[in-house]
Structure 1
Amino acid sequence: MGQDILFEFIGTAILILFGAGVCANVSLKKTLGNNSGWVVIAFGWGLAVFVAAYISSPYSGGHLNPALTIGLAVAGKFKGSILGYIIAQMLGAIVGACLIYLMYKPHFDEEENPNAKLGVFCTAPAIKSLISNLASEIIGTFILVFGVLMAAGAEIAGPLPVALLIVAIGMSLGGTTGYAINPARDLGPRIAHAILPIKGKRDSNWGYAWLPVIAPICGSVLAALLYILIF
C-alpha cells in the first residue's frame, strides 16, 4: 500500500468520524447537542472536510471522495490509482462510521426512532422524487468538483476553500437529499449500519442507496468536462 492510498483511508475515516459524529450529536436522544439543528450539521461537515483534508492532503491530495477522484482523473489532474483511492475511501468510511457507533452506543440504545439512527450513517431525500433527488446530488457534486478544479487552477487549493464550499452547499443545496455528494460518505456508513448490531435499527434503505453513488459521479464528470471545455 502506498502512502497516498493509506492517507486516503485515514482521511476518509476522519471525515466520517467528524461528519457522522455531528449527525449523531444532533440527532440522537440525550446527547448534549440534541436538536441543535441544520446549521450545526452544515458547519460540522464543513469542518470535518477541513480537518480530514488538512491531515491527508500533503500525502494523498485529500480527495476523500470517489466522485472527486474520478472527476480529477477525467480533468487530467490525477494520475494515481483510481481504484486504489476508491477502495481506501470506502474502507475508511466504514471504519469511521463504526467508530461513531462505538462512541455513541449508549445514545443509539436510548434512541427509539430508527430513522434517526439510520440518518447518522447515510442520507435520504426529504421528499422522494427521483428526478429532483438526482438533480440535487448532481448539481451539488458539480459545484463541489468544479469549485475544487477552479481553486486548483487559481493556485489557492487547500482545505479551507473546500471546507467553506461544503458549508455553502449544505446551507443552500443540502435540504433536499442531505447532500451526500460523495459515494463513500453515503455507501460506506450505510454498509456499517447494515452490519453493526445497532439496537432497534431499521433496514438500511438499499432501494435509495444507488442514487448517492451514481448521481455524484455524474455531477463530477460533468464538472470535469466543463473544466476541459473552458481551459
Structure 2
Amino acid sequence: MESGFVGEMVGTAILVLMGNGVVSNVLLNKSKGQNSGWIVIATGWAFAVLAGVVTAVALGSQGHLNPAVTLAFFALGHFPKDELLPYLSGQIIGAIIGAVLVWLTYLSHWKSTEDAAIKLACFSTGPAIRAPFANMLTEFIGTFVLVFLVVAIFNKSVGTTGVLGPLTVALIVYGIGLSLGGPTGFAINPARDLGARLAHAVLPIPGKGSSDWSYAWVPVVGPILGGISAIGVARLAGMM
C-alpha cells in the first residue's frame, strides 16, 4: 500500500481522535474533563497535531494531515500530481476513522448529553456568530498563518529538523487556537472537519440532530484559499 496514503490516513486518524477527543472530554455530560475550558481544547489539539504528524512521518508521508496544505503545495507546483489523490483520500478516510474512534471512546456519554449542538461540536466546527463570509475569512486567516509559518519553520535558514519540526507546528496550532480560534473553532483543515462531519451524519448517536451541512463549506473553502495564498506569498517572499 502506498506509504503516503497510509501515513496520511493513520496520522489524520490520530489527529482527529485526540483533537476531537479533547473537545468531547470538555463538552460531554459526565465526562471527568467537563467544563475544563477553551485552553484545554487548544492544548489538546496542539498535542494531537504533534502526535499525528510524528506518526505520519514515521509511516512514510510528509505529515500534511490537511488538504489545505497538500492542495496549496500542489497548486503552486511544489507537490507531485501522482501523490495528490493518495494524500487527500488518506486524510479524509483518516478523519472518518478518528471520529468513529471518538464516538466509541465516549460511547456512554452521548445519551447523557441532551444538547445536539454539543454533540456535533465533538465532531465538526461551528461558528460562535453565524456570518458565513466572516466565518470563512476567519478560517482563511487562520490557515494562512498555519501554512505560512510551516514554510518558515522548515526554511533552510531556520534549519528545523527531526522532531523539533512537528513540535513547532504543534505550538503554532496552539497559538492559532488561543488567538484566532474563538469565532469558528479553528478548523483550519478541511479533512478534520468534513471527515468528522460525515462520521457524525452516519453514526447512531442518540439525539444527534442535524450535521449542519449548510455551514460545511466554510471550513473547506476558507482553509483551502488560505493555504494557497500562504504558499503564494511565501514564494514571492523568497522563502521557498
Q: In the alignment, which residue of structure 2 is the partner of 1:68?
A: 69
Post-superposition offset of 1:76: 4.0
Q: Distance in 2 between matches of 1:130 and 1:199?
A: 28
Q: Distance in 2 between matches of 1:147 and 1:162?
A: 8
Q: In the alignment, which residue of structure 2 is the partner of 1:49?
A: 49
- Against the structure 1 CA distance between its residues 207 and 127, is the aligned structure 2 distance closer, same or farther, given a 3 Å change threshold? same
Q: In the alignment, which residue of structure 2 is the partner of 1:218?
A: 225
Gap runs ≥5 in structure 2: none
The amino acid of 1:63's aligned partner reads: H
- Residue 138 of structure 1 contacts residue 215 of structure 1 at CA under 8 Å; is this kept in 2? yes
TM-score by length of 1: 0.97
SS at match of 2:106: helix
Post-superposition offset of 1:152: 1.2
Q: Distance in 2 between matches of 1:77 and 1:54?
A: 21
Q: In the alignment, which residue of structure 2 is the partner of 1:110?
A: 112
Post-superposition offset of 1:44: 0.3
Gap runs ≥5 in structure 1: none
- Residue 57 of structure 1 contacts residue 63 of structure 1 at CA under 8 Å; is this kept in 2? no
Q: In the alignment, which residue of structure 2 is the partner of 1:138?
A: 140
Q: Which runs of 4+ in 1 moved over 3 A?
A: 74-77
- Residue 66 of structure 1 contacts residue 183 of structure 1 at CA under 8 Å; is this kept in 2? yes
- Residue 74 of structure 1 contacts residue 225 of structure 1 at CA under 8 Å; is this kept in 2? no
Q: Distance in 1 between matches of 2:43 and 2:153?
A: 20
- Residue 137 of structure 1 contacts residue 215 of structure 1 at CA under 8 Å; is this kept in 2? yes
Q: Deviations over 1:112-141 (max 9, x none)?
A: 111110000000000011221111000000
Number of residue pairs the alignment of both structures matches: 231
TM-score by length of 2: 0.94
- Residue 4 of structure 2 contacts residue 86 of structure 2 at CA under 8 Å; is this kept in 1? no
Q: In the alignment, which residue of structure 1 is the partner of 2:191?
A: 184
SS at match of 1:12: helix
The amino acid of 1:93's aligned partner reads: A
Q: In the alignment, which residue of structure 1 is the partner of 2:237?
A: 230
Post-superposition offset of 1:78: 2.6
Higher helix share: 1
Between the two proteins, what is the percent identity of the paired residues?
Answer: 48
Q: Distance in 1 between matches of 2:217 and 2:30?
A: 32
